[in-house]
Chains A and B, each alone.
Chain A
Amino acid sequence: MSRAQRARALRWLCTLTAAIALLIILFPVYAIIVGSFESTNTLFSGTFYWLPHAATLDNYRTVLGHPSAATQETVAGSQTGAVLTSLLVGLGTALLALVVAVPAAYALSKYRLRVTLIIVSSLLVAQIVPSIVLATSLFIVFHWVNLLNSYPGLILADGTYAIPFAILVLRAFFFSLPNELMDAARVDGASEWRTFRLIVVPLSRSAVITVAVFAFLAGWGDFIFALTILNGAGIEPITLGIYNYLGNYSTDWGAVMASAVIALVPAGVLLVLAQRYIASGLTAGSVKG
């Protein structure tokens, strides 16, 4: 074999290895999408079908609230409301993260304040705190201030996933904005707030989108706070809906998988639309903290 041939063979070997790795990484997602279109009979037949087998929309009809004759009623009922709830929680978390994080990150990067070091350190440490610790306390605190079972309560709790991360990522970004921009606006007589709103925010669109995407996914995918702060009455996001479908002894797999696939939709949409922001956010946020 010539040198060039060997190099080519090696390249294809790499492709093959990568393909196998991707197969393992993507297979679970594939399996649940295929499974969500299987009939209850197929799912309980004791055989796993690698390819779609007698596809049906029954599971989606069940979880979206149009029970057909073929599927029995499930315990938890329709998930349509749950999808809307999750959307609201995700958008609320994104909004909260932006309102809190964008000005804070700006102050922490462009103003010489005495507290900067302390606050940045606290934010780094805050990222480490396990959510179950916060959830246990917040349950009682929220009970005390009447925020249990409410959207504001859940969104405030979900902010803990997003806000420290958001401030640190945005702060790193703001460092890259030249100070001359702000100085020029100030010399022209713009107030600090106007400078921030009309110069800084528009220039940081990409970082702001990254942060908003992550905060939305955090709110959409949250389970711990939904499980603890919403104790069953009224508000039910999709993650909790899926959990409620999981029985202790028998699981309605069709309904579980159709709900799970619905819960994947935003991630899928964002992966296609905002891939650039997601990849940059992952590396920037994690490595630079």
Chain B
Amino acid sequence: MNEHETPGHGTLGERLAQQGISRRAFLKFCTAMASLMALPPGTATAIAEALVKSKRPSVIWLSFQECTGCTESLTRSDTPTLENMIFDMISLDYHHTLQAASGYGAEKSREDAMQNFFGKYLLVVDGSIPMHDGGVYSTIAGRTNLDLLQEAAKGAAAIIAVGTCAAFGGIPNAKPNPTGAVAVSDIIKDKPIINISGCPPIPVVITGVLAHYLTFGALPELDDLGRPKSFYGETIHDRCYRRPFYDQGKFAKTFDDEGARNGWCLFELGCKGPTTHNACATTKWNGGTSFPIESGHGCLGCSEPHFWDAGSFYSALSMPASPLELGTDAAVAGVAAGIAVSIANRVKKGAAKSAHEKTTIADLEK
């Protein structure tokens, strides 16, 4: 069965027409995407022209050990928005939260898509993969997540790990990690993986990455943690509008004091902005409405690995991440060592004294 016969896999142009989205609206979308991805503005038309002719690629979305927040982040609106127009650009052949089908029928369509487009489909993963006890802590249709991932990865052109759980392990991976949750990149080593981290990620970032892949057929430039540099290249701190207060040493001490009301820096209230790479300070949330710091709460660091174990969200970066241990033991050990050494010293002194020989004239005449 070839691509043309599979329903839903016609060109993007055909799909847009079906959805009643005008070519002009699509051109607007491409202009916005080009601007977001910092591409030269003139490329929007070229992007639109290339995309409308493209066959909508098959996308298989596997949801593993997750809270569905990443899907929610992308699908929050019930009217078409520029962010979720991405769903028109792809053929979402499997997504167990969004699809209408269920049961064996749904699983069959997944298997068909994987077979028909082997080597060409995009695999999107959200949620971590549990490994303990044979991976039984998360299964779909009787199969473990590990099994499903390994099978789906074989024929994938690229894997997009959406959300901190898929990118780094996320909350299930936090101490003590009872299910043995790991990231996609801990299991799959032979396919290009892009990590779109965040808990959840900013929706337009997901869209932007998919748009980039669909336009250029390649993943964008990635940082050392596999995240796209165009969104994760800077820290929140680098672009925070409260930075002048940080630079002057003006900090809010509690959540409702004068400093907080005047919009001072939230470093002392635990803001992890300086160590967190994401686009929240520029792209913001809810269509550019605001972001945590603008709303008065410090950054949690949710797009960084192991942020759940990096100390309290309300402990400043200059404070210890966990209570200090070893104190009294060290004190006792120190005193003990001190006593031991002093005794040794006294013994040495005593021995030297008793070994002391008086010098006589005879010695001098030798």
A, B bound: no
Chain B positions within 8 Å of A, measured between CB atoms, are: none
